[in-house]
């Protein structure tokens, strides 16, 4: 067995899976947003694969620039790959459009996509809330990106990744929400053996999160808040991380639960 893999969390929804032959990124973001900046372009220079879960600005907007400075390829929906090609002139040979339950192999990784359901988001409502909280510039920037710079309505994809050292990792991103369909999660559990689960925790979705985790039954759960900085600035409150952790431990006592903070690092 080779060296163990290292995982890094760089804030927002950005994870790095480090490999000897190059890194896999999920939703890389390095620009300053709502006063928060946790990464730089240099953090992504060893990237070989970029998996983009959906087209909202905090998951997508820095991908074109990273592609200009690396030889990475993108694994994402047809909508996202098409937007990168038409809007940012990314060559098609660097784009791997994928359908739900389709599998692609890139570098050290075998990647399978699946769909999840995002909570309802209103750009205008978020903009008004930001103005009320005197976050004019950040709110205007976010609205501009979402309206004109990104494929906002692209499908929501999670990724199941098999990698070196028998790694079985699932990124369910923000799918544990009030629109989660537990039957869909149970179908994933039948298809995939999940050792490590990346799971977004936000608002008051602790019940959905614990139900989803119990269905997938991972050995390790890495929790992250995908919008912590933004929510803090515009006054959206989430349940404390301890509440999410307690719910998971009741539903799946044998799982190890980690609450990731920006620049957390984990070895598997």
Residue 90 near residue 68, CB atoms below 8 Å: no
Asked if residue 197 is part of any domain, the answer here is yes
pLDDT in tens, 142-180: 888 999 999 999 999 999 999 988 899 999 999 999 999
CATH number at residue 66: 3.60.15.10
The pLDDT confidence band at residue 230, using thresholds 50, 70 and 90, is: very high
CA–CA separation, 259 and 265 (whole Å): 11
pLDDT in tens, 200-221: 999 999 999 999 999 999 999 9
pLDDT at 265 over 60: yes
By C-alpha distance, which of 244, 241, 242, 184 is closest to 215? 184
User: Sheet harboring 15-18: ordered strands across?
Assistant: 95-97, 73-76, 47-51, 23-26, 15-18, 6-9, 264-267
| Full residue range of the structural domain in which residue 151 is found | 7-267
pTM, entire model? 0.94
pLDDT in tens, 187-204: 999 999 999 999 999 999
Number of domains in the chain: 1
pLDDT in tens, 97-140: 999 999 999 999 999 999 999 998 777 766 566 655 657 777 88
Asked if residue 2 is part of any domain, the answer here is no
| Angle of helix 136-144 versus helix 123-132 axis, rounded to 10 | 170
Asked if residue 24 is part of any domain, the answer here is yes
User: What is the reported pLDDT for 117?
Assistant: 95
pLDDT at 1 over 50: no
Residue 197 near residue 7, CB atoms below 8 Å: no
By C-alpha distance, which of 238, 246, 187, 203 is closest to 221? 246
Token pair 């989430």: residue = 238
Task: Supply the DSSP symbol for 6.
Answer: E
Q: What is the dihedral of CA 76, 33, 262, 260, to 10 degrees?
A: -60
For residue 210, what are the CA distances in angstroms to 14, 42, 57, 227? Answer: 22, 36, 27, 19
Asked if residue 1 is part of any domain, the answer here is no
User: What is the reported pLDDT for 143?
Assistant: 86
List, in order, residues 6 or more apart from 247 with CB less than 8 Å away.
206, 207, 209, 210
């Amino acid at each position: 067995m080779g060296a163990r893999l290292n995982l890094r969390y760089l804030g927002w929804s950005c994870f790095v899976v480090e490999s000897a032959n190059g890194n896999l990124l999920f939703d890389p973001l390095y620009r300053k947003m709502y006063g928060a900046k946790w990464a730089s372009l240099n953090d992504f220079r060893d990237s070989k694969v970029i998996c983009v879960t959906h087209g909202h600005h905090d998951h997508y907007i820095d991908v074109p620039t990273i592609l200009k400075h690396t030889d990475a390829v993108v694994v994402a929906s047809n909508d996202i790959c098409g937007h990168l090609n038409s809007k940012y002139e990314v060559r098609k040979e660097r784009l791997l459009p994928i359908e739900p339950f389709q599998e692609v192999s890139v570098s050290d990784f075998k990647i399978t996509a699946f769909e999840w359901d995002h909570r309802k988001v209103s750009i205008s409502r978020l903009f008004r809330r930001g103005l009320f909280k005197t976050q004019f510039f950040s709110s205007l920037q976010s609205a501009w990106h979402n309206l004109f710079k990104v494929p906002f309505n692209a499908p929501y994809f999670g990724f199941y990744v098999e990698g070196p050292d028998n790694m079985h990792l699932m990124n369910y991103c923000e799918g544990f929400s009030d629109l989660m369909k537990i039957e869909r999660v149970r179908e994933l559990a039948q298809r995939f053996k999940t050792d490590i689960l990346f799971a977004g925790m936000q608002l008051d979705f602790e019940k959905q999160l614990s139900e989803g985790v119990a269905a997938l039954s991972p050995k390790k759960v890495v929790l992250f808040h995908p919008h912590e900085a933004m929510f803090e600035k515009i006054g959206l409150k989430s349940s404390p991380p301890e509440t999410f952790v307690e719910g998971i431990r009741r539903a799946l006592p044998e799982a190890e639960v980690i609450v990731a903070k920006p620049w957390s690092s984990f070895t598997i």
